[in-house]
Each structure stands twice: as C-alpha cells, then as structure tokens.
Structure 1
C-alpha cells in the first residue's frame, strides 16, 4: 500500500533519512490498515500510496531529523488522529515511549488495533487535552509533547505545554504561513520560550517546525476549559 522498498528508500534518502527493511514492512502494514479502516471511520483524505509515504510517514519522521530527541524520551501526541506523527516516529525510533491522546473514541479504537498489528507499545488516552493535562499523572510528566494540527499557535500551546516537564519541549508541526509570534504571549504565560523555528521542504511543499522549550512551571489555572479557550486565546 506504499511504493516498493527500493522506491521508498529513495524517497527517504532524498530528504536525508534512511529506511530499513523492518521499518518499511511496518509502514506497509500501517498504510494498508489506515486505508482499510478509513472506509468506516474518517481518518485521512490522503489515501494514494506515494502521498501516504510522503505526507504522512516521511513528514512525521522528519521531526526526528530536526529535533534532538534523546534516547528513551517520553512523548505525548495531542490530538493524534490517525497516529501522526507519533506512530511513524515510534516505528523509526522504538526507544521513544509514546502516548496517544484523542477526543474521539473511534480513533482510539483504531489506534489500539493499529499498534497491536505493528507490535509496538503505546499508551492510549481517550479524552480532551485540557482535561487530562490537569491530572497529576500527566501534568508536566513528558519530555516532549507534539501536535500536527491546523489550530493556531496560542491555542495549541495551551493544550500542549502543560504536559511538558521543565526543560522539555513542545513541538508544533505547522504550515509555512502562520505568524508564530502571535502565539508568543501564550507561550510565555504557560512557562515556555520559543527556541527556534525550523523551516524545511517536504518535497515541493514548505513546512515549519516550532520548538518551544519549557523553562518554568505552567500556572495551575491553565489550561482553561474548552469554552474559555474558544472564547479568547491567550
């Protein structure tokens, strides 16, 4: 369900990544199950083999090229959807411990079945980020949080930064056009610092990774409830 091994290797190499046979086999299983499950639960609009390889798998795994993720780090994927970017990252870097959070139980069911097929370990959370980041067992417990979402930087920061321990990072995967500085106030309020913006090309498309370093504790009143967040961004 993705291009053959030689072509897939070539695609990975063109962006400075390598691909092993074992990784390829797991990504093939992933793609096949994604397309099959997508017929009953809306997971993705991208179903063409090369598009899955490039826009889902390679785009997700490129995060490991541009962000230094130490061995055995913990990562929570907020609003993970079909498992991007964390499940491809786990395939590529099995040492990383992933937690998958999504508000839709149908997607969590899919993710559990997917990880079983891939024989990878993950923790699954069905719920909203603004609720679970208030819980002691999740608040400021992760080395990294990440989101691959269209929401603005201020909103994403309020949902993701509270999960991150001090000196950890929130990683936002964004398109090229968002003015990240508009989220700077929210990042500061939540205990973060925008450390860098990494601009890169995914084949013919511009991409951006924003790295936010957690430099102090998030005040206990954040995140606010969903209605407050929607009403007014920080």
Structure 2
C-alpha cells in the first residue's frame, strides 16, 4: 500500500507530507552528544526559530532563507484558535485593489496566518536578473492574512459571510454560515495529495498490501517480559523459586 495512504492520519500543517518528513527537512542541529554516551545523558541543541515565508519548509528556497547563523526579527501574529480555511475554499478579498472580488484558495501557510488566492492580490516581480540580463517580469499572488484580509463565501448565494464551527446530529464538525445557517463544506481538493487526486481514486494493485491487512491489529499488549513470551511459546515452565526480598 502507498506510504501516503498509511500516513494520512499524520499529515499536519495542511501539507501533503508527513510531519516527520517536514521536521527532518528543516532541522538544523548545532551540537549533539557524541555516540557511546548513555541515553539519559543525550542532548541535542538545534534551531527552534525559523523565518517562514511563502516557500514551504521542505524546499531548498526555505533552507536558503534560513541558513545557519542567520537571525531575523521575530514576526508577531494574531493567534488563530482553530484554522478554518482550506485549499479549494472560495473567499472574498476585503483589502487592496481587489477588494470585493472572489477567488479560490490555492495554498495555505498557517505559520504566518496566510493564504494564497488564485489570481488576486497580485504584484509584479523580476526573476533571473543578472549582470548582462535584465530579468523577466512575472506576476505572482501575494499572501493574504486570514484574520483581517479575507472572509469565507457562502456557497448557497455566493456572498461573503462570517461562520462558526458546529456539530451535526451525527457528531460531525462542520462550518456553518452565520447569515444563512447553511453548512459550508470543506472542499474535496483539500484531500488531494501528490500520490492521487482523491482518496476514492486510489486503486489497490496486485503488489500492494490490502488496506484490511494494514488496519488489522496484530499486537496484543501484555505485562509479560520478552523472556516470559519465549518461555510460553516454547512450553518452558519455571520451577525455580525466587528468593524472598523485603522492602522497608
């Protein structure tokens, strides 16, 4: 079975990669205890503060912007209690030259409270400028702050609205429009990964491990030690009597 399907429950930060892969990609270790030292003395000193931009943390551009030794001014953010914007959402822009226009969210950057909206809030920038080449002028979307720059669009009438999280009678957590009380579903495109467009499109191949086998629970926790399990499997009976000990 594909690794992405096995690790879907571990996907965080709205990326298409497991959190372990993201942490390993951006990790910068300054000092680590040499090998051979007991585990209780192990210590690792690594970088904790990074400068997050539109370049995702598993890319080479992110590593170039956060080279070892570079220290940048801390960015203060308005805390978001629960992230509520996803890839594929239709939102309305509230600021700038595109105020009042609607677009589709194509990228989510929760580390900076940012989203990228397709075709809106664009600016021009020069790429590939060198000594003998003026570069190429391209158009790219600038990020928008979810706390003040955008609001969600109600799909029932395509008008901007405030919303809140509620629970249905079945116990499902959904977004509900404050104006029309209609449910605003999470787009299916938010579930797309690099392996497949939708989970339902995945087809098990002959060499893949069936999903039923992957989800089967084969480990039964016991209080017995490893040696006790071996004795039970081999039919060995302990006939020795342990010496009495007293704890005061």
Q: TM-score, normalised by structure 1?
A: 0.23
Normalising by structure 2, report the TM-score: 0.23
Of structures 1 and 2, the larger Rg is shown by 2
Higher relative contact order (CA 8 A, sep 6+): 1
